[in-house]
């Protein structure tokens, strides 16, 4: 069984699961875990979008 | 005249924690099954989330036709890939035993799959360290 993800969906899935693990392992309290997980997720996806637009600008 | 810095008393070092059985078992079980190191210490939700997150990343990597690295002494990137994959523990052993993940990388998403599996292993290393810290009482 194979799966074909788009580049963005692959980045989304990666960001989601990596952020969950980072949140759980890098903070002490549940609230801090949630906040840090959301922060990591935003950074991952924000970085992807920023890099994507930067490459689009370079290509033009 | 005595040096004033020598007169300062050093803070007492924290007493060494005796190595408990859990501090050995939790990391070992956590490496073999992602999240299990937390689950055996009654961190049910954390363990479940770690299992789902790391497991899904690894399985998605396989389904994306990612490549799995075997023990090798060649290219440094291959060695690092092997170290990353090894972190997935039981999933890595099962994958090798079933001879999955051996195809040639033919498209970009397959390369993503390879990275998914390496990152799943590396994340499991972090989870194992976290399970150890819980076992020795450094983290709740």
Task: Tell me the chain A residues in contact with residue B46 when contact means C-beta distances shorter than 8 Å.
Answer: 24
Average pLDDT by stretches of 10, chain A with 60 residues: 89 97 96 98 97 93
| Predicted pLDDT of residue B109 | 82
Q: Sort out which chain B residues have CB atoms less than 8 A from A7's CB and list them.
A: 108-109, 112
At residue B50, the pLDDT reads 98
Chain A nearest CA to B13, separation (Å) = 23
* Cβ-contact B113, B63 below 8 angstroms: yes
Calculate how close chain A gets to B126, using CA atoms only, in Å. Answer: 7
Low-confidence ranges of chain B (pLDDT < 70): 1-18
Ramachandran region, residue B16 (left: φ > 0; alpha: ψ -120 to 50; beta: rest) = beta
Selected residue of A1, A10, A28, A29 to mutate for chain B interface (largest B Cβ count, 10 A): A10
- The residue whose two tokens read 């980045």 is A11
User: With contact defined as beta carbons under 8 Å apart, do B54 and B44 qualify?
Assistant: no
Q: What is the per-residue pLDDT for B108?
A: 77
CA-nearest residue to B122 within chain A is A18
Quick one: pLDDT at residue B11? 54
Count how many pairs of residues, chain A against chain B, have C-beta atoms within 8 Å: 57
Residues A41 and A16 sit within 8 Å (Cβ to Cβ): yes
Q: Residue B40 has what DSSP assignment?
A: T
Q: What is the pLDDT of residue B135?
A: 96
Q: What is the pLDDT of residue A47?
A: 97
- Size of chain B, expressed as the number of residues it contains: 140
* B136 SS3 class: coil
- List the beta strands (DSSP E) in B15-62: none
Q: Does B106 touch chain A (CB under 8 A)?
A: no
Residue A44 has a pLDDT of 97
Report d(CA A30, CA B110) in Å as an integer.
35
For residue B107, what is the nearest residue in chain A, using CA coordinates? A4
pTM given for the model: 0.88
- For B84-122, the three-class secondary structure string (H helix, E strand, C coil) is HHHCCCHHHHHHHHCCCCCCCCCCHHHHHHHHHHHHHHH
Only one residue has tokens 């990612």, namely B66
């Amino acid at each position: 069984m194979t799966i074909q993800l788009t580049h963005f969906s692959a980045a989304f899935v990666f960001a989601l699961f990596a952020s969950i693990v980072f949140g759980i392992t890098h903070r002490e309290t549940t609230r801090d875990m949630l906040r840090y997980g959301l922060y990591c997720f935003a950074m991952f996806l924000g970085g992807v979008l920023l890099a994507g637009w930067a490459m689009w600008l370079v290509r033009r | 005249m005595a040096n004033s810095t020598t007169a300062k008393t050093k803070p007492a070092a924290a007493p060494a924690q005796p190595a408990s059985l859990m501090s050995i078992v939790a990391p070992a079980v956590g490496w073999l099954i992602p999240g299990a190191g937390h689950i055996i210490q009654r961190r049910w939700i954390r363990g479940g989330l770690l299992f789902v997150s790391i497991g899904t990343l690894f399985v998605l990597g396989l389904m994306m036709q990612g490549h799995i690295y075997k023990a090798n002494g060649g290219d440094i990137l291959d060695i690092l890939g092997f170290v990353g994959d090894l972190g997935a523990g039981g999933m890595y052993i099962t994958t090798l035993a079933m001879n999955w993940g051996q195809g040639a990388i033919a498209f970009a998403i397959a390369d993503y799959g390879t990275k998914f599996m390496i990152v799943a292993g590396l994340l499991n290393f972090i989870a194992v360290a976290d399970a150890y810290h819980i076992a020795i009482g450094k983290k709740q």
